[in-house]
A and B are shown apart, each in its own frame.
Chain A
Amino acid sequence: MIKKLRARTKLRRRLAGLLALAVALVSVGALYSVLVPQPQTAQAQDVADPATVRAGKQLFDNTCITCHGANLEGVKGRGPSLVGIGEAAIYFQTSTGRMPAVVQGAQAEKKPPVLTPEEIDQLIAYTNDAGGAGVNMPAAQGEELRGGNPARGGELFRLNCASCHNFTGRGGALSSGKSAPALDGVDEATIYAAMLTGPQNMPRFSERQLSPTEKKDIITYVKSVTDGNNNPGGNPIGGLGPQSEGFIAFLIGMVALVGVTLWIGSKA
């Protein structure tokens, strides 16, 4: 073989040299791309499909524009700006039916949602596109949003939340017709979104103020005391403690005691 490879002409020798160089370059390039660490490049947001964004714009123009303005800038006296409002806020407000609001009042109340999940996604795509992205929902859903330490969740709930929402999430009154709602029948993602975005008069709890683990622990605690869960053996009668219990004690207990007293003293 060696005898044959001894190039017979000058041209062939040159070609062989060039070929060797090319192979060497390609193999070094391949090694480089495999071994060198990837630089951290900024990843653009999952660019939403233009059709979704268009559908979202259509939806926005039909539903939200009256109070939130044509460019998401908000209308004074009617609705705040939605620039950079983020997926979490839109998900919370629309999936609980609070938005689209039908009447201006002390606060927008929860009602059956008007927008379907698909429409909510379209709206999110449009607002992210038109106003810039904001705070996003966590990737986990449902049961994955429950933490493992409900006792700590209870501590945090009592420190941060119980003043407005009551120790077991029965809700409470705020000033001038506003109120903090009861936490029954709310799913985990909605609770997470509410903590993250601070809807209406609720303060915002960023992921640095309450870490995701702490938020999940709070969600587990809330789940353990709402939806009829924290009633060891009895009718909670609204979970309002002495108010409702006192009422029942007087209405039923006292009347029964009076009846018994009358029976004791009656003629045989």
Chain B
Amino acid sequence: MSEDKTPELPSDEELERLDRDELLKLGGKLDGVELVEYPDPFPVKGTRAEKRAERLVAFWFALAGLASLAFVVVMIFWPAKYEPFDSDKHLLYSLYTPMLGVTLGLAVLGVGVGVLLYTKRFLPHEVAVQDRHDGGSAEVDKKTVVAHLADAGTRNGIARRPAIKRSLGFGVGALGLGITAVPLVGLLRNPHAQSGNKDGLLHTGWQHVGKEKVFLRRATGDASEVVLVRPEDLEASAMETVFPFRESERHDHEALVHALKRSDNPVMLIRLRPEDAMKVVQHAGQEDYHYGDYYAYTKICSHVGCPTSLFESRTNRILCPCHQSQFDALQYAKPVFGPATRKLAQLPITVDPETGYFIATSDFNEPIGPAYWERKS
């Protein structure tokens, strides 16, 4: 049936006389719904089954309540202070988080299960039938809605006012153009116009400023401690991570910390074994970047920029953990496996004749890390 006849509505006095069940039926009829079954699950009061169901639901709610109280008690009184692993209070400390989880979890679970059980046991099992409205709307509805829309279109009078039509077109059109331009303009400007910017991609924290020497510094776990590296500190087949240090930063705690944290600073200082150092192949232009058996390569992978910290001392390979690119430390750190295609940048180092510590003679000769659009190679 595609058309439903609207049932006739009772008058106000008749409405007053209907009781709740009859009002329910009327409401259903108005929506096309007919309640077939709506029984009380426990028509006979006081049966054992009903009492059992009540106790079950009450049990779950009570459990939830007790668990919540336990949660509050645990939160306030359980010892939460860190205990080292070899102390005998460690077990109690380590159970703090699980106890919080168990109590709160049980509380939430209890409420949920209680509510679900109540719904299953105590709510009437309703069976209702609703008319299915197939097909299109009634013809009168279609025609009246179309008439409304057409009237709104013509009665506002824009069609008869060309000046307003054109100015509206210009105003909204230009606004749309502006909105679409916002994300596109960023693609057109050159982000590397200021190549001298010390924080740009061309430079690292090893960049020399004036004539000040840049020392290689080791990290000892204490950021304000300045420990510089001498050649004899490393044995053959050793690798050390070094960071830049300038004498002017010695008492500037923030600069000392910053040097350890700047992401393009870490450099691997590698001392090769003498028999391997004889097999080294230098890259053109980088022949004097090493100091004897000591080679310094940046840690930043030329693939996506992860720190290539894994140094295999027997095979002299530098392995990056992210995508498993391998660089050969005996061949100017050129990639021999994995997705990287460009060598790791090499830091030119030498030993300062005045102090005996390692210094970097200049910044890297290329941008370190992953390639970018404007990079020349």
On A, residues with C-beta under 8 Å from B are: 150-153, 155-156, 159-160, 163-164, 172, 174-176, 178, 198, 200-206, 208-209, 214, 217, 223-224, 229-234, 263-264, 268
Contact = CB atoms under 8 A, between A and B. Distances in A.
25 contacts: A151-B221, A159-B219, A163-B309, A163-B321, A172-B310, A175-B324, A175-B337, A178-B312, A198-B237, A198-B313, A201-B313, A203-B311, A203-B313, A204-B236, A206-B235, A208-B232, A209-B234, A209-B240, A232-B96, A232-B97, A233-B95, A233-B97, A234-B98, A268-B120, A268-B121
Contacts of B221: 151-153, 155-156, 159, 214, 217
A264 B238 contact: no
Contacts of B96: 232-233
Interface in B108-132: 116, 120-121, 125
Q: Which of B94, B125, B218 has the most CB of A within 10 A?
A: B94
A160 B238 CA distance: 11
B319 A175 contact: yes
B307 A204 contact: no
B194 to A, nearest CB: 33
B314 A231 contact: no
A238 B235 CA distance: 35
B2 to A, nearest CB: 33
Contact of A232 (B93, B125, B233, B238): B93
A209 B222 CA distance: 15
B93 A209 contact: no
Nearest to B218: A209
Nearest to B238: A204
Interface string B217-250: 0111110000000101111111111000000000
A234 B230 CA distance: 46
Contacts of B94: 231-233
A203 B315 contact: no
Interface in B296-321: 307, 309-315, 317, 319, 321
Contact of A175 (B95, B99, B312): B312
Contacts of B237: 198, 203-204
B317 A175 contact: yes
Nearest to A200: B314
Main secondary structure of the interface of B (DSSP, over half): mixed
A202 B240 contact: no
B77 interface: no
A208 B235 CA distance: 9
A177 to B, nearest CB: 11
Given A155-B221, A232-B94, A233-B95, A201 B314 contact: yes
A208 B84 CA distance: 29
Nearest to A266: B120
B373 interface: no
Nearest to A107: B314
B85 interface: yes
B137 to A, nearest CB: 34
A175 B326 contact: yes
Interface in B41-95: 84-85, 93-95
Contact of A268 (B125, B240, B315): B125
B233 A208 contact: yes
B238 A152 contact: no
